[in-house]
Amino acid sequence: MENLTYVTGNYGKYVSVKEKFEKENITIDYFKCDLDEPDINDIKYISKVKATEAYNELKKPVFVADSGFYIENYPNNPNYPGAFVKRSGISSNIEELLETMKDVENRKCYFLDCLTFYDGEEYHQFFGISKGTLSKKIKGEARKRAWSNLWLVFIPDNCTKTLAEMTDEERINRPDNRTSAIDEFINWYKINYKDIKKLNKK
């Protein structure tokens, strides 16, 4: 069976994802590539298009993982930036984000993750969500495992630290009732992928 290939331009994502797969004795390859994103605020659609592009580039089983970030009471634009995290520039301008949100009391926000696996025949998508609040100042340090600079200002539910303040152990074991697209995919892959051809014929 061919190794899975994770396609992303974000090395921090690869490091954290690789560790999860290794714990399940699954080998994954890494292909660094910044895939084009359709100009539509739909994380599910964007992820599928990127998985298609990645497969067309490599011609072997691939998966991509995308995250949207939704700020419930963003001024004049609820749930912004959504799937437009990267192109909005919010994750690279944290100070500007905090300035925009400085007078907003409702600071609820969440990450919505979508992982799309494509083997050239079938698409399989998995989702995860992590709810929390936006801190009022930058806390913690940038880490190799960080998926986004937003870790510096995102405090998960039932926690007092931002993701960037937490140790790896604290982050992995945090009590925020999150769900994980990566974990869902790994569980599915272990059970199903060896028989994917049979599944596709059903």
Record the tokens describing residue 145, joined without a space. Answer: 């495992």
Whole-angstrom Cα distance, residue 154 to residue 141? 12
Q: Report, as an integer, the average pLDDT of 92-97.
A: 94
Stretch 105-130: mean pLDDT: 96
Looking at the structure of the chain, the number of domains it has is: 1
| Separation of alpha carbons 86 and 137, rounded Å | 21
Q: Which of 104-118, 135-149, 163-177 has the lowest mean pLDDT?
A: 135-149
User: Is the predicted pLDDT of residue 202 greater than 50, yes or no?
Assistant: no
Predicted structure pTM score: 0.86
Mean pLDDT score, 88-96? 92
pLDDT tens string 41-65: 999 999 999 999 999 999 999 999 9
- Convert the pLDDT of each residue in 4-13 to its tens digit: 899 998 887 8
Q: Determine the pLDDT at residue 37.
A: 85
How far apart CA 188 and CA 194 sit, in angstroms, is: 11
Mean pLDDT of 169-176: 93
Q: What is the 3-state secondary structure (H, E, C) of 137-158?
A: CCCCCCCCCCCCHHHHCEEECC
CB-based contacts of 78, cutoff 8 Å, min separation 6: 72
Give the whole-angstrom CA distance, residue 125 versus residue 139: 33
The CA–CA distances, whole Å, from 190 to 24, 49, 149, 186, 193 equal 8, 24, 31, 6, 6
**17-23 contacts: CB < 8 A, separation 24 or more?**
17/65, 17/182, 20/182, 20/183, 20/186, 21/186
Predicted pLDDT at 137: 96
CATH number where 27 lies: 3.90.950.10
73 band by pLDDT with thresholds 50, 70 and 90: very high
Residue 132 in this model has a pLDDT that exceeds 90: yes
- Residue 124 is part of which domain span? 4-201
CA pair distance 44, 120, nearest whole angstrom: 18
